[in-house]
Chain A
Amino acid sequence: MSERKMVATRDAYGKVLAELGKENKDIVVLDADLSASTKTVTFAKAFPDRFFDMGVAEQDMVGTAAGLAACGKIVFASTFAVFGSGRAWDQVRVSVCYTRLNVKLAVTHAGITTGEDGASHQANEDIAIMRALPNMTVVVPADGPEAEKAVRAAVGFYGPMYIRLSRPKTPVITDGLDQEFKIGKGLLMKEGKDLTIFACGMMVAMALDAADILAKEGISARVVNLHTIKPLDKELIVRCAKETGAAITAEEHSIIGGLGGAVAEVLVENVLIPMARVGLKDVFGESGLPDELLIKYGLTTENIVKAAKEVVKKKK
């Protein structure tokens, strides 16, 4: 595996948001006392008039975002994923989704790689609870460059959106990709015929590594980057399922209700093939270094390889 550039998706967000602020005067940014961590601080410094720190009050932040959006603003509201999705869920539901207002919930510190802060700060259920909301679009960028594209796309896309970003630096894998980023369209990252690995977020890089290892063992794994969990690219999932006959999902999220759940829903209604989910097994995390936690909770390249071999074995 070649050395990859490392970028945190939250850093990419902060950078592109400040650029977009220059291009579009309707963009307003809110944060809930975490601007240094979510990286909205760059926008705040460049455009102090269009930045509002709402203090430690996520519910109020989301409601205020709705009011600004109701007056035509494109509002980015940022905090940690666990607070933006969980603490303010009902506000997201009623004030943002039911109203179909133009609020982009761009949240950072998603998943277990939030690390040392421990279980209270690790959002492992957010994809599930956000994608269950009508009118919500859910995007999980695979790396820094894709995060930039997703945030740019969000500005040109009307409606509520949940953009899930990470704390640690993660490998850059979409640089130089000749496929266009389109909300709702998955990306074929690597061809393969024996199974498809559907992944999102930082797990796409691991899926690519897993495919390399599997190739050496004679298993040809296709890798698909499903950066948009909702609306899900059903057509691509069904086509890959038919062409490869087995599937696994890999996500830095609970195996309940996230990418794994979403893909399983599509498969069970369309193509019955062996499938396995790599993700957190219905447990809370704990404090530790991101890499230690990924190993302890089964979110590694090796876990993907193991799951891939098992589903391939189950093929008729």
Chain B
Amino acid sequence: MLSDKELEAIAVKLRRHIIEMTCAAASGHPGGSLSAADIITVLYFHQLKFKPQDPSWADRDRFVMSKGHAAPVLYAALAEAGFFPVDYLKTLRRLGSSLQGHIDMLSLPGIEMSTGSLGQGLSAANGMALAGRLDKKDYRVYCLMGDGECQEGQIWEAAMTSAHYKLDSLTAIVDHNKYQIDGKVEEIKNLAPFHDKWRSFGWHVLSCDGHKIEALRDALDKAAKTKGKPTVIIADTIKGKGVSFMEQNPLDYHGKAPTADEEKKAICELCNIKEFEI
């Protein structure tokens, strides 16, 4: 088991990949990838059971990235976990690359579901949990959603399904970074009372700091021990986390890649260095 320090170091690596990938692609979604970097780190390097050499291992845990635009952080984690070479990350969004702008399960090992049209992942995760129950498997299913994404009606259809079928093998996580493309979530279409909404839909609701490794570990652990109902972890996050100019202007970096200068600045910040040569 990796220590918190080691996981923090991996999270930095993922963030660096996100910056480099989106800069190389000159497009993509850095803001919502950075906000999810610690969540994805704890999932892929602490929580999930999987075998990179055997991606379709029947007993693996399933992870559905419902916020499909955060593809870069998932690709970075899969590469670091050994599903494919890290070098391949720089092909993001290029013609012919398996690293599609939004996630395509058929083009890359280790991906459980194609997403990109928001709101669809939780239903698929429910289906996976139901299949696990039918097959008497003890794998768990994880689904990461965006907060803006929770404006999609299908999320709440699916939320009812998870609770109705008492899918306690399912843990949903919301990357609650409080921003969507057009502005602050609370100003565009307020989700509050967000925690109460999930609770009233029959879920076990946990909150945690989405950038604290220990808090995430603890919440995922509690979720796995919860019986009789699904758990949602509402992870408080910061859009663009780790890169000061993105944190300060999250709306500018939802779907815009850093320039070469910005890339340099971001990497210096992430790696805590003053200057470097690419």
CA distance in complex: A210, B119 (Å): 48
Which of A55, A59, A71 has a CB less than 8 Å from the CB of B128?
Answer: A71
In whole Å, how far is A104's beta carbon from the nearest beta carbon of chain B?
Answer: 14
Q: Which of B14-22, B39-47, B108-116, B224-232 contacts A (4 or more CB under 8 A)?
A: B108-116
A94–B117 touching, CB < 8 Å: yes
Q: Quick check: is A100 within 8 A (CB to CB) of the other chain? A: yes
Contact check, B123 vs A73: say whether CB atoms are below 8 A apart: no
Listed stretches A60-68, A116-124, A287-295; interface member: A60-68
Interface-forming stretch among A46-54, A198-206, A245-253, A274-282?
A46-54
B124/A63 in contact, CB under 8 A: yes
Question: Quick one: which of A16-72 are within 8 Å of B by CB?
Answer: 28, 49-50, 52, 54-55, 57, 59-72
A52: chain B residues within 8 A (beta carbon)? 130, 165
Contacts of B131 on A, CB cut-off 8 Å?
Answer: 28, 67-68, 70-73
Interface check A243, CB cutoff 8 A: no
CB closest residue in chain B, given A100: B106
Contact status of A68 and B128, CB under 8 A, knowing A55-B160, A60-B158, A95-B120 = yes
B128 and A63 within 8 A (CB): no
Partner of B157, one of A60, A70, A73: A60
Are the C-beta atoms of A54 and B124 separated by less than 8 Å?
no
Docked Cα-Cα span, A190 to B128, in Å, equals 47
* A157 at the binding interface (Cβ < 8 Å): no
> Which residues of A sit under 8 angstroms from B123, Cβ to Cβ?
59-64, 66-67, 91, 95
A67 and B157 form a contact (CB under 8 A): no
Chain B residues with CB under 8 Å of A61's CB are 123
Task: Tell me the nearest residue of chain B to A66, going by C-beta.
Answer: B124
Proximity bits, B143-154, A CB within 8 Å = 1, else 0: 000000000011
Docked CA distance A269–B207 (Å): 60
CB distance from A2 to the nearest CB of B (A): 47
Determine if B113 and A73 form an interchain contact, defined as CB atoms under 8 angstroms apart: no
The answer to whether A191 has its CB under 8 Å from any CB of chain B is no
Q: Report which residue of B117, B119, B120 has the largest number of chain A beta carbons within 10 angstroms of its beta carbon.
A: B120
State whether A57 touches B157 (Cβ < 8 A).
yes
A236 to chain B, nearest CB (A): 31
Smallest Cβ distance from B171 to chain A, in angstroms? 15
Known: A63-B123, A66-B124, A71-B128. A50 touches B134 (CB 8 A): yes
Q: Within 8 Å of chain A (Cβ to Cβ): is B104? A: yes
Contact B154 A67 (CB under 8 A): no
- Which residue of chain B has the shortest Cβ distance to A94 in the bound complex? B117
CB-CB < 8 A to A100: which residues of B? Answer: 106
A158 contacts across to B, CB distance below 8 A: none
B105 within 8 Å of A by Cβ?
yes
Q: A99-B106, A99-B114 are in contact. Are A91 and B127 (CB under 8 A)?
A: no
A67 and B117 in contact (CB under 8 A), knowing A52-B165, A57-B161, A99-B106?
no
Contact surface of A with B, Cβ cutoff 8 Å: 28, 49-50, 52, 54-55, 57, 59-73, 75, 90-91, 93-95, 98-100
On B, residues with C-beta under 8 Å from A are 62, 64, 104-106, 112-117, 119-132, 134-135, 153-154, 157-158, 160-161, 164-165
Question: 21 pairs across A/B with beta carbons < 8 Å?
Answer: A50-B134, A52-B165, A55-B161, A59-B119, A60-B123, A60-B154, A60-B161, A63-B122, A63-B154, A64-B124, A64-B126, A65-B127, A66-B124, A67-B126, A67-B128, A70-B62, A73-B131, A93-B117, A94-B114, A94-B116, A100-B106
The 10 A-B residue pairs with the shortest CB-CB distance in the complex, in nearest-first order: A67-B127, A63-B123, A71-B131, A60-B157, A67-B124, A57-B157, A68-B127, A64-B127, A67-B128, A59-B154
